[in-house]
Structure 1
Amino acid sequence: MAVIPEISKYYGRHKLFINGEWIESKSASVEMNLNPATGEVISELPNATKEEAIGAVKAAHEAFKKWRDVPVRDRARLLFELRAKLEEGSDELSRVLCQDHGRTIGEAIGSVRRVIENVESACSALYGLAKTNEHIEQVARDIDQYLTWEPLGAFLIVTPSNIPMHAWSSFVPYALAAGCTVVVSPSRQDPIAAEYICRVAQEAGFPPGVINLVHGGRNVNKEILVQPEIKGVGFIGSNRAGWELFELCGRYGKTSSINGNGKNNFVVMPDADFDEAAQGLLRSCFGMAGQRCLGVDNVIIVGDRYDEFKSKFIEAAKGIKVGYGLDSETDLGPLVSQAGKDKVVRWIEESLKEGAKMVVDGRNVKVDN
């Protein structure tokens, strides 16, 4: 067993990042953040006050006035520096994901790699935006046509608990490349991951106010989104929260990119290599403890080999090693929270009452310390 050292057992009280400064929240509402693998308190999370949330919006709005005019090459330089910082800190970021989210170290390394790739893609998109501007002479008599892409302003970015860093990189680098600024509101279930990636971005040298970070969940998100300076939202999370934000965007005329829950099918064809397919399904079903929108919910066996494949998959599932993600031999880490686990167990029990049949029961699995 190769156990990778923890970064720290206790990170202290989280701060808010507003206008380039880490500030102590004045909020009296504080939650305890736990390491999902050990149950230990690893940080204290204050929920931002209304005044603090609005302060972040004002900072993003003021920063936008200058950031939108920063030359493309200078924006690109900062994004490339962000990429370099992410590469430099990838080991530390991966271990933070294990402790704050519950990932296995392999999954965490892969997630950080996706973050880096998103920044690379944003760099490419930055130059692509410049090329998509169009000028057509004489589109009609004595009329020329110009198409110019312009940044809109400050955006709210809401990231979920299952992919706290990856979701950040799915929005923030692209917004910055386009000349927009952001207020990031991460999930309260893994705030350390959100803070770490924000600190990396700060080290890359972005001007104050271009990136801001506040904590607080739905109430804070709504308060931010209704501010006139916020032009829209980028969201990944639950359907319920997504519909609430989408309704607000419609009411207040905001731009939105809303990504809710996903359901996916895994189809096994009659000529498939069943050993390979079983291993692929294992990763699809149990990767990140099933906490991802690309995970598999339904398995469809084409042909008359259902029982054969079912046996292969059950055998593979029984071989999964459950444990702390910092143990390199662990295949399956914990769900991000006790509430999340309780919900999954409740779904299982309700399914059994409705006639489902249990073939592998992992509800009371014993984990070696």
Structure 2
Amino acid sequence: MFPVAVTCGNTFVLKPSKKDPGASIMLAELAMEAGLPHGVLNIVHGTNPAWCKMELTYDVQAISFVGSNTDGMHIYGRASAKGKRVQSNMGAKNHGIVMADASKDATLNALLTAGFGTAGQRWMALSTIVFVGDSKPWETKLVEHAKALKVNSGTEPDADLGPIISKQAKERICRLIQSGVDSGAKLLLDGRNIVVPGYEQGNFIGPTILSGVTADMECYKVLIFIRASNTLSRLCSQKYGNGASIFTSSGAAARKFQTEVEAGQARLESISTPKLKQ
């Protein structure tokens, strides 16, 4: 975000994740190396106290936040009360809608990448797949492809999934998976017991897929499959809607989805273009 902000004539204060600030520091070092003037890009470390000081500084005119509901509401409340412009993206729950006419190969590749890339630890990760129509053929293929993904330290060139960020995060994910099974969901692929050679005590979880999940289940937070007859009602009735995608070859379905879905971002995938007659 900061390259756009700086190009538009702003200075920028970046508060990275307290658990994983390394990438932000690397970007700042590259910006300095490229000649960005001192003080234009600033990195602030810490938790809520660091945000509190920044929110109430008169020189800060606008804040853009991505993170948890708790932190987002805290920041929005304090900063907006002081007349700051605030963009607060909270509580992501990204859905992928798969129509019966979706391109098989393109959709499978997209679902695997979006669902398991960076071990699912990114804000726009696709955690819920909603099938319109028969999901069985899709489930079989997705499980087959997910089993082939390589899990290792994340530094190897052929890595598909790396470790979970912390022991606590791993324990939380394992608890959510088990709660899904206990609530009646079907565990199609279980990655909880994966062992990575050389990192036997590491925080690894392999690809995991649950099917037959309902929105009231606590496990409605990992990669899950849902079957629905009214997809838009399903999406608009749940409280988290950071992003949503539809996989279809129907322009009409794509347009209806784009105009009626209630989500922060809407993506249209696997739209095929009819071939012109020779």
TM-score between the two structures when normalised by the length of structure 1:
0.50
Secondary structure of the structure 1 residue equivalent to 2:188? coil
How do 1:20-39 and structure 2 match up within 5 A? Answer: none
Q: Distance in 1 between matches of 2:142 and 2:38?
A: 52
Report the Cα offset of residue 234 of structure 1.
Answer: 1.9
Per the alignment, residue 168 of structure 2 pairs with 339
2:140 is the alignment partner of 1:314: no
Whole-Å separation in 2 of the counterparts to 1:210 and 1:271: 49
> Match for 1:366: what amino acid?
V
Aligned to 1:233: 63
Q: Write the letter of the residue equivalent to 1:321.
A: K
Q: Which amino acid in structure 1 is aligned with residue 8 of structure 2? A: A
- The structural deviation recorded for 1:367 is 1.1
The amino acid that maps onto 2:49 is N
Are 1:220 and 2:50 matched, yes or no?
Answer: yes
Counterpart for residue 252 of structure 1? 82
Equivalent residues in 2 for 1:354-365, closer than 5 Å = 354-365=183-194
Please report how far the alpha carbon of residue 312 of structure 1 lies from its aligned counterpart in structure 2 after TM superposition. 1.1
Q: 1:350 aligns with which of 179, 182, 200?
A: 179
Letter of the 2:25 partner, please give it.
Answer: E
Unaligned runs of 5+ in 2: 199-278
Is 1:282 matched up with 2:118? no
SS in 2 for 1:358: strand
Q: Distance in 2 between matches of 1:180 and 1:253?
A: 18
- In structure 1, distance between residues paired with 2:91 and 2:174: 19
Secondary structure in 2 matching 1:282: helix
Q: 1:292 aligns with which of 103, 113, 122?
A: 122
The residue number in structure 1 matching 2:9 is 179
Q: Percent identity?
A: 35
SS of equivalent residue, structure 2 residue 61: strand
Higher relative contact order (CA 8 A, sep 6+): 1
- Aligned positions of 1:1-369 closer than 5 A: 170=1, 172-303=2-133, 305-369=134-198
Task: Tell me if the contact between 2:118 and 2:160 (Cα under 8 Å) persists in the aligned partners.
Answer: no
CA separation in 2, counterparts of 1:185 and 1:276? 36
Deviations 1:247-269 (A, max 9, x none): 11221111112222322222222
CA shift for structure 1 position 275: 4.2
SS of 2:154's partner is coil
1: CA distance, partners of 2:130 / 2:62: 39
Deviation at 1:232, TM superposition (A): 2.3
- Give structure 1 stretches of 5+ with no counterpart: 1-169
CA root-mean-square deviation = 1.8
Find the aligned partners of 2:162 and 2:10 in 1 and give their Cα distance. Answer: 37
Q: Which has the higher helix share?
A: 1
Which one has a bigger Cα radius of gyration? 1
- Cα 1:360–1:223 shift into 2, 3 Å: same
TM-score, normalised by the number of residues in structure 2:
0.66
Q: Encode CA deviations 1:11-45: one digit per residue, 9 max, x unaligned.
A: xxxxxxxxxxxxxxxxxxxxxxxxxxxxxxxxxxx
> Post-superposition shift, 1:273?
3.9
Counterpart CA distance in 2 for 1:359 and 1:245 is 39
Secondary structure of the corresponding residue to residue 280 of structure 1: helix
Query: Is residue 322–residue 330 contact of structure 1 (8 Å, CA) maintained in 2?
Result: yes
Q: Is the 8 A contact 1:261 1:293 kept in 2?
A: no
